[in-house]
Amino acid sequence: MTDDLNDFIALRPASGHRPLQGLTVLVVEDSRFACEAMRLLCLRSGARIRRADCLRSARRHLATYRPAVIVVDLGLPDGSGLDLIADLARAVPRVPVILGTSGSSELRDEALAAGADDFLEKPIESLAAFQDVVLRALPAEARPFGLRAVHDETIRPDPLALQDDLKEAAGILAAPGDASRIAYAAQFLSGVALSAHDDALEDAARAVARNRDAAPEVTRLAGMVHDRLAAGTRF
């Protein structure tokens, strides 16, 4: 057990240290690295994870089953996660726990206004914080029984998933000038960089997001992505 400040009181099932045992979590996330973090958090919590990498795929999943928890990234390749959250919040029966997630903390209010129960700010690395948000949002009748202090743990996603994200972004940045795709790649990379604690890449991605028509900034960002791919798993 770590010190008391890192502990939290969680409602837990009789089965031990896995307070989300038996729950299905649908993660709607285009970043493999962020998805890998969610996979580890779900695994450590006892939850089953299903993944969708865009709105269209998420809607396909939701047509066949209803998860207990859905975590919706707000920036997706085929639109805004806010639209999916708004639809889900109105649906009957409702997905019991609807969470928005983004690396941009200023989007918290928009996610809540769209109908999300809560918001997970990236990077999501604390097991205790993740479990706390999900357990607080679960309806009382769906919560596991019992109270127990659970120690915190910081998860570290596989750097190979980061390389996958960088390759994906490099492909988009190398394609000739579709401004909306460049804008998507810039916001995608700013989130990935935040999760990877890569401040220089985050700054470069944000510069492109602010001005996606600025060729020098796009070239600079593409160069930084290539450098990181060439350096391999340096994170």
Q: List contacts with Ca ion (CB under 5 A).
A: 30, 73, 75
Closest to Ca ion by CB, 138 or 192: 192
Specify the residue, 26 or 138, whose C-beta has the smaller distance to Ca ion: 26
Q: Report, in Å, the least distance between residue 132 CB and Ca ion.
A: 23
Tell the smallest beta-carbon distance from residue 231 to Ca ion (Å): 23
Give the nearest distance from C-beta 75 to Ca ion in angstroms.
Answer: 4
> Which own/partner pairs from 206-214 qualify as long-range (CB within 8 Å, at least 24 positions apart)?
208/182, 208/183, 209/183, 212/179, 212/182, 212/183, 212/186, 213/179
**Shortest CB 80 distance to Ca ion, Å:** 10
Asked whether 90 and 73 are in contact (CB, 8 A), the reply is no
Report in angstroms the alpha-carbon separations of 192 from 87, 103, 104, 167.
26, 9, 12, 12
Whole-number Å distance between alpha carbons of 169 and 164: 9
* Closer residue to Ca ion (CB): 58 or 150: 58
Residues 74 and 79: their CA atoms lie apart, in Å, by 8
Closer to Ca ion at the Cβ: 131 or 190?
190
Report CA torsion sign: 164, 105, 187, 53.
positive
- Select the residue whose beta carbon is closest to Ca ion and give its number: 75
For the bound state, the minimum distance from the C-beta of residue 77 to Ca ion, rounded and expressed in Å, comes to 8
CB of 12 to Ca ion, least distance (A): 31
**Toward Ca ion, which CB reaches closer, 110 or 132?**
110
Distance in angstroms (rounded) separating the CA atoms of residues 26 and 198: 27
What backbone phi and psi angles, to 5 degrees, belong to 41? -65, -40
Alpha carbons 77 and 171: distance in angstroms, whole number: 14
**Which residue intervals of 21-64 are DSSP H helices?**
32-45, 55-64
- Smaller CB distance to Ca ion: residue 67 or 75? 75
